[in-house]
A and B are shown apart, each in its own frame.
Chain A
Amino acid sequence: MKSPRIALALVSALFLLPAFSAAQAQKKRDLVVWGVSLGPETKGTEAIIRKFARRHPDINVRVLSMGAGTMNPQKLMTSIVGNVAPDVIAQDRFSVSDWASRGAFQPLDDLIARDSGKDPLCPRKEQYYPEVWKEASYGGKVYGIPTGADNRILYYNKAIFREKADLLRAAGLDPDRAPRTWSELLKYGKVLTEVDKNTGQFKSVGFLPNFGNAWLYMYAFQNNAVFMGDRDGISGRVCTMDTPEAEQALKFIVDGYDQIGGYEKCKEFESGFLSNENDPFVLGKVAMKIDGDWILNALSRYGPALEIGVAPPPIPDDRYNHTGRFANEKETYVTWVGGFCYAVPRGARNMQDGWEYIKFATSTEGRMIENTAQKKWEQLRGRAFIPRQQGSMEANEALFKAFKPADPKFAAALRQHIDLMPHGKIRPVTFVGQTLWDNHVKAMESACYHKLSPKEALLAAQNVVQRDLDAYFNKANYPIINLSIPLYVGLGIGFIVLATLVVLFLRHRMGNLERTEAWWAYLFVSPWLIGFLLLVIGPMVASLFFSFTQYDVLNEARWVGFKNYQDLGGADWNNVSKGLGNAVFLAALTVPMSLAVGLAIALLLNQATKGMRFYRTFFYMPAIVPGVASAVLWTWVLTPDPNKGLLNAAWLKIVTPLLGLNPPGWVQSADWSKNALVVMSMWAAGSGMILWLAGLKGISSTLYEAASIDGANPRQTFWSITFPQLSPIIFFNAVMGFIGAMQEFDRIYIMKPSSDGPVGPDDSLLTPVYLLFNNGFAYFKMGYSSAIAWLIFGIILVLTFTQFKLAPRWVHYESDK
């Protein structure tokens, strides 16, 4: 037993490593900051941190991105629950209320009161735009200090307007200015869209409602839609998505797509492009878009010659004319503002230093340091720099003064953004912010795809959100339940098991020798037995228990009976059925196809006389590439842009000329995203090949000899001998394939195009385990996610039993004699 000894030596060596590093640990205080990425675009943030570290030499600032920008909710949640929370977190403002309402963030009011007036860096409320400040507060308390802010304006390409001036004039539109109202916007959009007469594809597009960054939120705000309403004197008690105002806004979006050929066609057009130099707006393929100020730097870098014009985002006609519902409305133009803030999670170990950092980073001084450093970085690379918008009015003006872009068109764009800031509306401050956002995206998608009418789509979304609201506000109806109950039950079961064993042992009449053997056997089995009790039975009891509760881990659990299970088949059936459907789809395509590809290779390899070992290795190699690495690789292979993506580059050269089909959008398209995963699985079909090879070799040659004596032709031989002999492999793989597809998670987590909202376009990549993960770790519904776990378990049980019951009918097992 040489190898275990070597392994032991290795392990002990590895364990010494941390001991060494611990010995030289610094005496500095650690300050852990999360959610800040340190890439080429955020050199300014780095500068703030360095400057802060220089001012406070006793603090060691440790920055971690954790999926930067879109802070991964699961990471934050597990860290808070696990008592290893960061000290400061950069958080998207709209989700602050989600966390604050559950007590996961700490209010900053006391600290502000303590330092205000004493510390010039201390944030002052009046420094900030009121809406921006409001977004980071909840229940009258301040939970986050805003940093950047981003609102949306209309960008248009003056050159295209000039080029098509005649067309615009013919339609009664003015080519020298941007559209001001929704109806004008639609008209401009239609006139400026050009379709290739031969292929039916877009040559260029006038306007796509959600290209850039507008979402339903912006249009709804413009139409005075309010997504959350009051009832029984409680603000935010009801979700009011299904209102005429929101419906009009959604209808506007749908019309915008329909008038030029429908959402699917537009999505296909969009997916042919990417950001930066391949942005269709930069390439002059899109005449108008609504977007935030973050595109300015990219525009100045990749399209400095682009003749951009800016205007406030067009608004409903009635609003512009101050007629109808808007007769008494004072505000004309309205936009949507979002952005980030710094917050302090519950359980932060170094809150004081964290507060020092927040004060410094959010102060006007900090903002100036950030932008100065970023400008220097861009200059070093020969690029222009345009400052970003801030949540603080003071900082915004200071930055505009210091860094006003030299190019008048960019200066005008930045000014437009800043001027519209006071008219920026925020997403509702509610503890269901994430659910509201995700479902608003889903409503928009299903209306655009014409799966539901705008009203139905909004109502469906409203119902989902309302369910969460009711669960929260009605929680007093459900009794608080002591969480030690599952512990006692688990202990009880463990005790019963042990007692049974003891009884069995005592009742058994044994000789001395046998008794010794039994003792030893129990000792040998004990690793499994302990693990079984602690890590299997205990958690199973607990999970079953949780599935009957409403539990967010951060607060107490409440007993809700069968409600979670009712939701599975009722209120949440849309998601559950979608997840199961996706799993069936994935399994139905992946299993037979990978078996077929495997069989094809195996048959070829069976023929090969030379190089069999080499080929076998080569074909098997993709199957052992680590999952994360292969997902990262395939994200690039499947990039829709044929200039970058391997697969679409080949598609454009081979498939398009032959069949006239355009390259698909793969993971970015609702129809193709699952196929993308299937293609990826085909690459790893080598494991199937090995199975077939083994199976083929395992078939006794006497069977074939007998068949050839009987005069069977090759087809008969295959169906009567080869297939029945291989049937166990096929059947086993079919069942395992489905079980695997239900639990598909890793590669979808890595490859899905947007980090929140639907899992893949139109939820096309949602699998049951993903649904469980989202509910548990993003929506704080641990109880419900436990119920999903039991649903998965139930399906696996049924499948396995079916396998054992049905298999003998057509699966041939050699031992069945």
Chain B
Amino acid sequence: MTTANAIFALGTLISWVGWIMGATALFTIFKLTFDNVGLDSKRNMRSLMISGLIAGLSLLATAILPMHAATKDATGFRVPLVWFVMPYSAWLGVYCLFMGAYRSVQAFLGIDKDDRIERMKSCGIWLLVTVAFVWLYRGDPANKITILTGGLWLVPQTMFAIVFLAAAGMAAMVIAGRSTKTRGYAKTIVTQAALLAGSVVFGLPFAFLVITSFKEDKDMSSPNGIVWIPKVQQTVPYFDKKKPLYEGQFQGETVQGTPIETNPDGSIKIDIIKPMAIRGTTFVAAKAALKEVPRDIPIVSGKTNGIEFEGKVIEEMDDGHRRVAFLKPASLAGKEQVFAPAEVENVRHVGLRFQNYTDAIQFLPPETHSGLVYLKNTLILVVMSVLGTILSSSIVAYAFSRMRFPGREAMFAVLLSTMMLPAAVTLLPQFLIFRTLGWIDTLYPLWVPAFFASAFNVFLLRQFFKGIPMELEDAAKIDGCTYLKTFWSVMLPQIKPALAVIAVWTFMGAWNNFMGPLIYVNSPENMPLSYALQLFQGDRTNEPGLLMAFATLCIVPVLAVFFFAQRYFIEGVTLSGLGGR
């Protein structure tokens, strides 16, 4: 066993050399692709060759070594790897220790005294940090380091395929490197491929969202992974003689339902099936007011007496059995038979289940008019917030940047300092203030504060106002404009791009606002979309199709705005990120 272990250890070492060399080779490939290295390229090419060769050889060596003697399973090649499983604090400690050692070596090799001192200092700091992390690590008794030996199992075919692919890739790179023109193409291809791969990764959750919103319940969970191609049940229209489906008017809505009983006067009591929100409600209507409509019944397939058939389910029984009227083959057509649930299978074809969307909307409380009220509330919130922010912030910023008045500097300093104030501090008292005003369960607490200018926007707009030449304003004053007029007609148009950016931010903030509605809004008719979606999620945890449909409906308007105002969104990020400058 000792020999086997020795071979295992050797193999581990060689495999690590192999991996590292492989990584070097890959790195060199990237370097050759992306950098204008020119003079260096020969050297790089050589290093690529060498590292690639070593990588291939050592990986091959580990694959050939009889390493499996030390392990249980012997199918394929096992490329051994050692995993250190430890907490982040330990990893950081190791990293800092390494950096400390690295700096001390550097200090030893330093050119002059200053250099050495500088590096010793840095070494000291790294070691101090190491101590801190070790302390952190030791602080939690649950922390432990586990060393796991594991491995990559490769069958010979995959192994060789990898080697060949690597060789082919290198060769392609060499050829590509020969001529600058083809190299340009190679670069483009690599870049585009990487970007496409990235787009797929970033797009997958979106695709998942949209596709799930069109799936039937039975496709939500599948042992073979995610179902990407939605299928829908195939149906045929059918007039049921025993249990007809009627369409009629109930409280101004068109409803469908089945009759429960016929009264002596000929009127019929109807049990509503559609729309979902009032399903199960009954009402009485005159026969004349009702229209019989076909119901969509599912098509199933199965086998009876060894004959494969297709048929429509004309009755779903209480115990799960289904009465099927045969459609195909012709020899059976017109006959009926009862099957147990397991004997027949639903016939489904590739398609989208739009019913998820209609169902989702029908499940919303009736007072929200199919969710339109949510949209209205969100729009009120967005429009008022944007309007308020732009008007108030710009006029305040104008005063701070272009007008002189006593206390300006002091007030501006105070304004700047409020930028740091977290909303959490004022959360509760503001709630109490709005309660005194009787504004709980209204939208006012969510948009009225926008009219009082936010510090950050004022700060930003002030910078923009400062960039406008004085001459413009002076000209306006000479023409006899009042301050308000100057501001409105001369200055404001000058900062339109900045205003657009602020508008876009405020739009996003208002559309996303969740904690506000969570605290202030209680009844459905005052709810904005964000909070409605969260409540919807709570009620529909077992119906992902409906949930995803509603989520899609909430996202689409934002994406639409984004496509039209893309430029401002992107400028906005840039401004916010550099705001600290």
* Neighbouring A residues of B493 by C-beta, 8 Å: 1
Q: Which among B191, B280, B429 has the greatest number of chain A C-beta atoms within 10 A? A: B429
* Minimum distance in angstroms from B143 CB to a CB of chain A: 11
- Is A326's beta carbon under 8 Å from chain B? no
* Neighbouring B residues of A494 by C-beta, 8 Å: none
Contact of A800 with B420 in the complex, beta carbons under 8 Å: yes
- Is B578's beta carbon under 8 Å from chain A? yes
Give Cα distance in the complex from A539 to B363, angstroms. 40
Give Cα distance in the complex from A1 to B493, angstroms. 8
- Is B206's beta carbon under 8 Å from chain A? yes
Contact of A525 with B411 in the complex, beta carbons under 8 Å: yes
Give Cα distance in the complex from A178 to B158, angstroms. 51
Which chain B residue lies CB-closest to A796?
Answer: B420
* Neighbouring B residues of A125 by C-beta, 8 Å: none
Given A525-B411, A649-B226, A628:B512 Cβ within 8 A: yes
Contact of A643 with B223 in the complex, beta carbons under 8 Å: yes
Given A82-B440, A690-B573, A540:B225 Cβ within 8 A: no
Contact of B428 with A546 in the complex, beta carbons under 8 Å: yes
Which chain A residue lies CB-closest to B532?
Answer: A628
- Is A538's beta carbon under 8 Å from chain B? yes
Give Cα distance in the complex from A483 to B244, angstroms. 67
- Is A306's beta carbon under 8 Å from chain B? no
Q: Which among B222, B420, B449 has the greatest number of chain A C-beta atoms within 10 A? A: B420
Give Cα distance in the complex from A650 to B226, angstroms. 9
Give Cα distance in the complex from A416 to B131, angstroms. 60
Given A11-B380, A74-B518, A610-B192, A518:B386 Cβ within 8 A: no
Q: Which of B173-181, B193-201, B327-335, B350-358 contacts A (4 or more CB under 8 A)?
A: B193-201
Contact of A637 with B280 in the complex, beta carbons under 8 Å: no
Contact of A62 with B533 in the complex, beta carbons under 8 Å: no
- Is B9's beta carbon under 8 Å from chain A? no
**Residue from A543, A739, A746 in contact with B429 in the complex, judged by beta carbons closer than 8 Å:** A543
- Is A173's beta carbon under 8 Å from chain B? no
* Minimum distance in angstroms from A802 CB to a CB of chain B: 12
- Is B182's beta carbon under 8 Å from chain A? no
Give Cα distance in the complex from A644 to B225, angstroms. 7
Give Cα distance in the complex from A93 to B440, angstroms. 27
CB proximity to B under 8 Å, residues A379-411 = 379, 382-383
* Neighbouring B residues of A488 by C-beta, 8 Å: none
- Is B555's beta carbon under 8 Å from chain A? yes
* Neighbouring A residues of B226 by C-beta, 8 Å: 646, 649
Contact of B580 with A732 in the complex, beta carbons under 8 Å: yes
* Neighbouring B residues of A609 by C-beta, 8 Å: 188
Contact of A517 with B440 in the complex, beta carbons under 8 Å: no
Give Cα distance in the complex from A47 to B279, angstroms. 10
Contact of B281 with A50 in the complex, beta carbons under 8 Å: yes
**Residue from B187, B192, B563 in contact with A611 in the complex, judged by beta carbons closer than 8 Å:** B192
* Neighbouring B residues of A618 by C-beta, 8 Å: 199, 202-203
- Is B117's beta carbon under 8 Å from chain A? no
- Is A438's beta carbon under 8 Å from chain B? no
**Residue from A38, A486, A604, A622 in contact with B202 in the complex, judged by beta carbons closer than 8 Å:** A622
Count of chain B residues with Cβ under 8 Å from any Cβ of A? 141
Contact of B387 with A793 in the complex, beta carbons under 8 Å: no
Q: Which of B61-69, B299-307, B541-549 contacts A (4 or more CB under 8 A)?
A: B541-549
Given A10-B383, A525-B396, A619:B202 Cβ within 8 A: yes
* Neighbouring B residues of A532 by C-beta, 8 Å: 414-415, 418, 452
Q: Which among A79, A525, A652, A735 has the greatest number of chain B C-beta atoms within 10 A? A: A525
* Minimum distance in angstroms from A128 CB to a CB of chain B: 29
**Residue from A543, A649, A785 in contact with B225 in the complex, judged by beta carbons closer than 8 Å:** A649
Which chain B residue lies CB-closest to A743?
Answer: B422
Give Cα distance in the complex from A15 to B438, angstroms. 19
* Neighbouring B residues of A32 by C-beta, 8 Å: 523
- Is A102's beta carbon under 8 Å from chain B? no
* Neighbouring A residues of B515 by C-beta, 8 Å: 745-746
Give Cα distance in the complex from A41 to B204, angstroms. 32
Given A620-B569, A694-B574, A750-B534, A644:B187 Cβ within 8 A: no
- Is B537's beta carbon under 8 Å from chain A? yes
- Is B253's beta carbon under 8 Å from chain A? no
* Neighbouring B residues of A733 by C-beta, 8 Å: 577
Given A535-B452, A608-B191, A84:B522 Cβ within 8 A: yes
Contact of B425 with A539 in the complex, beta carbons under 8 Å: yes
Contact of B280 with A634 in the complex, beta carbons under 8 Å: no
Q: Which of A212-220, A225-233, A500-508 contacts B (4 or more CB under 8 A)?
A: A500-508
Give Cα distance in the complex from A340 to B85, angstroms. 45
Contact of B194 with A604 in the complex, beta carbons under 8 Å: yes
Contact of B440 with A79 in the complex, beta carbons under 8 Å: yes
- Is A294's beta carbon under 8 Å from chain B? no
Q: Which among B73, B194, B341 has the greatest number of chain A C-beta atoms within 10 A? A: B194
* Neighbouring A residues of B280 by C-beta, 8 Å: 43, 46-47, 50, 373, 376-377
- Is A472's beta carbon under 8 Å from chain B? no
Give Cα distance in the complex from A553 to B379, angstroms. 32
CB proximity to A under 8 Å, residues B485-536 = 487-488, 492-493, 508, 511-512, 514-515, 518-520, 522-525, 529-531, 533-535
Which chain B residue lies CB-closest to A545?
Answer: B429
**Residue from A1, A84, A607 in contact with B440 in the complex, judged by beta carbons closer than 8 Å:** A84
Interface of B, helix, strand, loop or mixed by DSSP: helix
**Residue from B73, B222, B428, B570 in contact with A690 in the complex, judged by beta carbons closer than 8 Å:** B570
Q: Which of B99-107, B234-242, B287-295, B402-410 contacts A (4 or more CB under 8 A)?
A: B402-410
- Is B444's beta carbon under 8 Å from chain A? no
Given A39-B539, A607-B34, A629-B554, A789:B520 Cβ within 8 A: no
Contact of B518 with A601 in the complex, beta carbons under 8 Å: no
Annotate B417-451 by CB proximity to A: 1 below 8 A, 0 otherwise.
01011111111111111010010110000000101
- Is B214's beta carbon under 8 Å from chain A? no
- Is B24's beta carbon under 8 Å from chain A? no
Which chain B residue lies CB-closest to A697?
Answer: B574
* Neighbouring B residues of A628 by C-beta, 8 Å: 512, 514, 530-531, 533-534, 554
Annotate A687-715 by CB proximity to B: 1 below 8 A, 0 otherwise.
10011001000000000000000000010
- Is B152's beta carbon under 8 Å from chain A? yes
Contact of B511 with A626 in the complex, beta carbons under 8 Å: yes
- Is A615's beta carbon under 8 Å from chain B? yes
CB proximity to B under 8 Å, residues A13-42 = 14-15, 17, 21, 32, 37-41
* Minimum distance in angstroms from B312 CB to a CB of chain A: 17
Give Cα distance in the complex from A535 to B531, angstroms. 24
Give Cα distance in the complex from A620 to B567, angstroms. 12
Contact of A536 with B554 in the complex, beta carbons under 8 Å: no
* Minimum distance in angstroms from B467 CB to a CB of chain A: 15
* Neighbouring A residues of B423 by C-beta, 8 Å: 743
Q: Which among B72, B220, B225 has the greatest number of chain A C-beta atoms within 10 A? A: B225
- Is A624's beta carbon under 8 Å from chain B? yes
Q: Which among A32, A74, A616, A789 has the greatest number of chain B C-beta atoms within 10 A? A: A789
- Is B466's beta carbon under 8 Å from chain A? no
* Neighbouring A residues of B42 by C-beta, 8 Å: none
* Neighbouring B residues of A65 by C-beta, 8 Å: 535, 538-539
5 A-B residue pairs with CB within 8 Å: A81-B440, A376-B280, A618-B203, A633-B548, A732-B581
Query: What 19 new A-B contacts, CB under 8 Å, besides A504-B406, A636-B212?
Result: A68-B538, A74-B519, A79-B441, A376-B280, A504-B407, A522-B405, A539-B428, A585-B88, A608-B188, A627-B530, A628-B512, A628-B530, A632-B551, A646-B226, A683-B205, A714-B35, A728-B580, A732-B577, A743-B423
Query: Which residues on B are within 8 Å of A, measured CB to CB?
Result: 31, 34-35, 37, 72-73, 88, 141-142, 150, 152, 187-188, 191-192, 194-195, 198-199, 202-206, 208-209, 212, 220-223, 225-226, 280-281, 316-320, 341, 363, 365, 367, 376, 379-380, 383-384, 386-387, 392, 395-396, 398-400, 403-408, 411, 414-415, 418, 420-433, 435, 438, 440-441, 449, 451-453, 458, 482-484, 487-488, 492-493, 508, 511-512, 514-515, 518-520, 522-525, 529-531, 533-535, 537-540, 542-544, 547-548, 551, 554-555, 558-559, 562-563, 566, 569-570, 573-574, 577-581
What 4 A-B pairs come out closest when comparing CB atoms?
A531-B452, A82-B440, A539-B429, A732-B580
